[in-house]
Amino acid sequence: MKNYFVIGSRTSKSLSPAIFNYWFKKYNISAKYSFLEVDKKNFDQVLLKSINKKNIAGFNVTVPFKKDILKHLNTTNIHAKKIGAVNCVKIDKKNRGTNTDWAGYLKSIKGLKINKTKKILILGCGGAAQAIFYGFLSRGYKNVYVFNRSKKTININGFKTFTKKYSSIDRYLKKADLIINTTPTNPLNKHQTKNVGEQAVVSDIVYIPKQTNFLKNFKKNRKIYGISMLIEQAVLSFRFWFGFSPIVDDVLIKKLNLKIK
């Protein structure tokens, strides 16, 4: 039996095991998916001990280690290289890394059909935020802005820009068409929240609880829940490991919805 896992700082609450173990059973794959919860001090030690086991075939990486994992990989695909972060690894003769966050997020909003001139705001600048920024950039979107508490440089595929301060966000909020929160909290204060127009779609990549503290503020706005991105990036991870895309059926959706209320 092959083993897979997700490694990160709060993975005991992750729904990835529920998703992948459901697919393993559905497709009669002799494999098991679990989690490893680590901190900055023991990440390298625990990871190396785990991936040296013969039955480990792959794993996912979540916050805050999507950049730390790079030094443990032999190869990364073109998207991971451009983003500078990896969330999915396949182990065969080499440790191969990819990034499924960017495409997973774009797939989670495919029903919106957002015009490429529309204004998109990304809150936070972690690994997932930069992957999402890369996704929009690679698809030709012109007005994508990243906000962060501290000034950070974003350098993706030769395109260099800087994050904007939350203190300057007011003039962007009123005309925003999509606002994506990639932080574990609500980074907007009450005044800023009130400046969000009803036309804006609000999105949060955190999936537990479904109605995050950020999303609760927007009763009249259309919402994209974090579970959508989790599922879509998991589909792409599964395909990276096994060569085909699993079906996201009603049974799986029902199973997950019971866990995120």
Considering the domain architecture, whether residues 239 and 218 belong to the same structural domain is answered as: no
Considering the domain architecture, whether residues 56 and 114 belong to the same structural domain is answered as: no
Averaged pLDDT, 49-72:
93
| Residues 216-260: tens digit of each pLDDT | 999 999 999 999 999 999 999 999 999 999 999 999 999 999 988
Distance CA 230, CA 179 (A): 18
Residues 6+ apart with CB under 8 A from 37: 8, 9, 10, 11, 12
In three-state secondary structure terms, 155 is strand
| Catalytic-role residue among 41, 49, 53, 66 | 66
Considering the domain architecture, whether residues 112 and 193 belong to the same structural domain is answered as: yes
Nearest CA among 83, 89, 69 for reference residue 125: 83
| Residues 61-71: tens digit of each pLDDT | 998 999 999 99
In three-state secondary structure terms, 86 is coil
Considering the domain architecture, whether residues 126 and 215 belong to the same structural domain is answered as: yes
Residues 6+ apart with CB under 8 A from 139: 106, 116
CATH number (domain holding residue 185) = 3.40.50.720
Residue 45, both tokens: 């030690």
Does residue 64 have a cis peptide bond before it, meaning omega lies within 30 degrees of 0? Answer: yes
Distance CA 10, CA 7 (A): 8
Q: Which domain holds residue 71?
A: 2-99+228-257
Considering the domain architecture, whether residues 242 and 157 belong to the same structural domain is answered as: no
Q: Which residue has the tokens 């990304």?
A: 122
Considering the domain architecture, whether residues 127 and 210 belong to the same structural domain is answered as: yes
Residue 171, both tokens: 């003039």
Considering the domain architecture, whether residues 220 and 233 belong to the same structural domain is answered as: no
156 or 118: whose pLDDT is higher?
A: 118
| Residues 81-121: tens digit of each pLDDT | 999 999 999 998 899 999 999 999 999 999 898 889 999 99
Nearest CA among 38, 83, 72, 68 for reference residue 233: 83
CATH number (domain holding residue 247) = 3.40.50.10860
Considering the domain architecture, whether residues 32 and 8 belong to the same structural domain is answered as: yes
Domain count, the chain: 2
Distance CA 179, CA 63 (A): 21
Q: Is 66 a catalytic residue?
A: yes
Considering the domain architecture, whether residues 124 and 217 belong to the same structural domain is answered as: yes
Considering the domain architecture, whether residues 218 and 126 belong to the same structural domain is answered as: yes
pTM of the model: 0.94
Considering the domain architecture, whether residues 91 and 157 belong to the same structural domain is answered as: no
| Residues 125-155: tens digit of each pLDDT | 988 999 999 999 999 998 999 999 998 888 8
